[in-house]
Amino acid sequence: MSDETAASAPSTMNGRFKKPVKVVIDGREITAEAGHPLLQVALDNGIEIPHYCYHPKLSIDGSCRMCQVKIEKAPKLAIACNTPVTDGMVVDTTCDEVAFARKGVMELLLINHPLDCPICDQAGECYLQDYSFGYGSQESRTSSPRRKGLKRHPIGERVIFDQERCILCRRCVRFTKEISKTDELRVFGIGDKSRIGTTSERPLNNDYSINTADICPVGALLSRDFHHKRRVWFLQEHESVCPSCSNGCNVKLGIYNNEIQRMVPRRNDEVNDTWMCDHGRLNYHFAQDETRVRTPLIRDDAHAAPASGNGAGADVKYATTLDAALEAAAEKLRGAVSVHGGGAIGVLGSPHLTNEDLFRLVQLVNALGTPNFDMIVPVGPADDFLIKPEKAANAAGARALGVKPGDGGKDAQAILEGAKSGELRVLLIVGSADAARVLGETGIKDAVAKLDALIVVDANRSPLTDAATIVLPGLVWAEKDGSFTNHAGRVQRVRQAMEPHADLQPEGALFARLAALFARGSAPAAYDAAATLREIAAGVPAFASIGFDTLGSAGLALQEPGAAGAAEAAAPAQA
């Protein structure tokens, strides 16, 4: 319900400030913008008026009648959602008349509502439950049987419909009309035969369909992914950002038993209003499925022969400690640089990492002294709403921090070619799925045959982690603190929502330790994302005013690239 107040971005401060009016609600004098819905004004000022059909991002329907209030000099109660505030309006939301009307509305809404809260996913975050408790009656005055309707009906591939629970608020209908603009849902029938439905040819399958489950005030529309998965009161909710594309939709992660149970959108009017796409919402399973890399690995012929004793050494990888794997990686890098120079090393960064991770990676690359530094940004289908073509959360951040070839250095394509041709001796790949796709099966074989070492840092398995000489396990976004920079240059916090496996560390820590080991320097201070962002702010002008303390829940825009000489100049120079 907090998503319904404008606290994050007051509508009265957006420059289109209309004539302010004074209204009195429950004895409190409030200044508001003329013409705003009385209901929204009340909510924005912390006065609860119960409501079902009203939603701040949808048109006004006025069908549920729950938000009736008493307005002085008005002949009868009025619905607060469809009453624009006017100067001098005096409103009472608590009088007996209002309480009686609410009780009546609740009685009619519940007259056919099934009592299946114990098996309803909505239980615990259900308006019907909350308002029944707050404003309803404790007993039923009817004994006639409740109307039967569709149960667990697959109204779309990703949404389940329970007709018996529906209170016909039409939020979902308005969503498909006004937001997704796909028009799959309508109200069919009349009177007590009214029901939400689709046509048989067009089920509810648009790219944003699960938002209808979010805005459904009861348990009528439900996410199939979350169906009967976990009672919501067991979830710990953490604010985060969706990692699936460069839009950076604000989300809440629901965690239980150190696993993500669901991802739901969080209101940010600058980024995603209160919506997110289905693909992003459902793309979290990689954080906890069997593809996770949980152990550092070394493929080492010298160890292989005695240990296996069967000559299969070159194809055997050994689980090892993080310390040993980092030491081995540093040794490979050092060896290549001392014999061939920094140019013998290629580094592919990842647009999936946080700004903080990437800053440490840029420092590592500077220490290695190679200009062969780039990244592969996966692209895919986009639309003109939330879905952006770059399928990574932080490509813009990576660019702003200088993840790109140095003077005369190779770009991503040339780095992979150089690995296959033998021109490069050591290849460090961070986030390997996209590089594996570009290389292909034979490309990977060629590269492994020619390279002295293939070092892969990744949180998930890929053909490249399978082929690598050294694998350093990374973390997924939900396991670390940090920030992403979205396509529009907005920096947003991600927060650690899950404990990493064993003693795995964020990539930023790995890069810092690797840089120190490479230079045979002393161990770096313990990695800390907040401190790293402070370093970024000090060193990269675009990030000047950005820190964990200033980002808040809504994030902050990077400084205009032109304004301060920008990221270009700020990115640490490449050797």
Partner 1 sequence: MGVLSEELKQRIADEFPKYPEKRAVLLTALHFIQAEHDGWIPPGASKEVAELLEIHQIDVEEVISFYSLFHDEPVGKFHIQVCANLSCCLAGARPLIRAFEEKLDIRSGEVTEDGVFSIAEVECLGSCGTAPMLQVNNEPFLENLKPDDVPGILDKLRSRLGEGKR
Least Å distance, CB 474 to partner 1, is: 47
What is the distance between the alpha carbons of residues 22 and 497, in angstroms, rounded to a whole number? Answer: 43
Q: Which is nearer to partner 1, 42 or 172 (CB)?
A: 172
Least Å distance, CB 201 to partner 1, is: 8
Least Å distance, CB 435 to partner 1, is: 45
Q: Which is nearer to partner 1, 118 or 191 (CB)?
A: 191
Least Å distance, CB 166 to partner 1, is: 16
Q: Which is nearer to partner 1, 203 or 389 (CB)?
A: 203
Q: Which is nearer to partner 1, 186 or 252 (CB)?
A: 186
**CA separation, residue 84 to residues 33, 78, 382 (Å):** 9, 11, 37
Least Å distance, CB 192 to partner 1, is: 11
What is the distance between the alpha carbons of residues 416 and 447, in angstroms, rounded to a whole number? Answer: 8
Concatenate the DSSP letters of all residues of 304-336 into one string: HHHHH-SS-GGG-EEE--HHHHHHHHHHHHHHH
Least Å distance, CB 182 to partner 1, is: 10
Tell me which DSSP letter residue 13 carries: G
Q: Which is nearer to partner 1, 185 or 392 (CB)?
A: 185
What is the distance between the alpha carbons of residues 67 and 52, in angstroms, rounded to a whole number? Answer: 8
Q: Are 292 and 469 in contact (CB under 8 A)?
A: no
Least Å distance, CB 78 to partner 1, is: 27
Least Å distance, CB 222 to partner 1, is: 22
Handedness of CA 189, 195, 196, 197 (dihedral sign): negative
Q: Are 564 and 542 in contact (CB under 8 A)?
A: yes
Q: Which is nearer to partner 1, 190 or 573 (CB)?
A: 190
Q: How many residues does the chain have?
A: 575
Least Å distance, CB 194 to partner 1, is: 9
Least Å distance, CB 144 to partner 1, is: 16
Q: Which is nearer to partner 1, 183 or 466 (CB)?
A: 183
**CA separation, residue 343 to residues 370, 427, 453 (Å):** 5, 11, 15
Q: Which is nearer to partner 1, 199 or 553 (CB)?
A: 199
What is the distance between the alpha carbons of residues 4 and 19, in angstroms, rounded to a whole number? Answer: 23
Both structure tokens of 427: 């290849």
Q: Which residues contact 16 (CB under 8 A, 6 or more apart)?
A: none
Least Å distance, CB 75 to partner 1, is: 27
Q: Which is nearer to partner 1, 204 or 426 (CB)?
A: 204
Q: Report the candidate in 167, 147, 133 with the shortest Cα–Cα distance to residue 65.
A: 167
What is the distance between the alpha carbons of residues 333 and 286, in angstroms, rounded to a whole number? Answer: 30
What is the distance between the alpha carbons of residues 496 and 480, in angstroms, rounded to a whole number? Answer: 4
Q: Which is nearer to partner 1, 170 or 513 (CB)?
A: 170
Interface residues with partner 1 (CB under 8 A)? Answer: 183-191, 198-199, 201-202
Q: Which is nearer to partner 1, 164 or 183 (CB)?
A: 183
Collapsing DSSP to helix, strand or coil, 175 comes out as: helix
Q: Which is nearer to partner 1, 31 or 194 (CB)?
A: 194
Q: Which residues contact 9 (CB under 8 A, 6 or more apart)?
A: 268, 269, 270, 554
Both structure tokens of 479: 């396991």
389: Cα within 13 Å, side-chain hemisphere: 1
Rounded to 5 degrees, φ, ψ at 373 are -145, 125
Least Å distance, CB 204 to partner 1, is: 11
Concatenate the DSSP letters of all residues of 77-138 into one string: -EEGGG-B--TT-EEESSSHHHHHHHHHHHHHHHSS----GGG-TTTTS-HHHHHHHHHS-S
Q: Which is nearer to partner 1, 154 or 380 (CB)?
A: 154
Least Å distance, CB 196 to partner 1, is: 11
Q: Which is nearer to partner 1, 203 or 572 (CB)?
A: 203
> Any alpha helices (H) in 503-571, and if so which ranges?
507-518, 529-539, 548-551, 566-570
Q: Give the distance from CA 544 to its chain's centroid.
A: 25
44: Cα within 13 Å, side-chain hemisphere: 20
Least Å distance, CB 149 to partner 1, is: 15
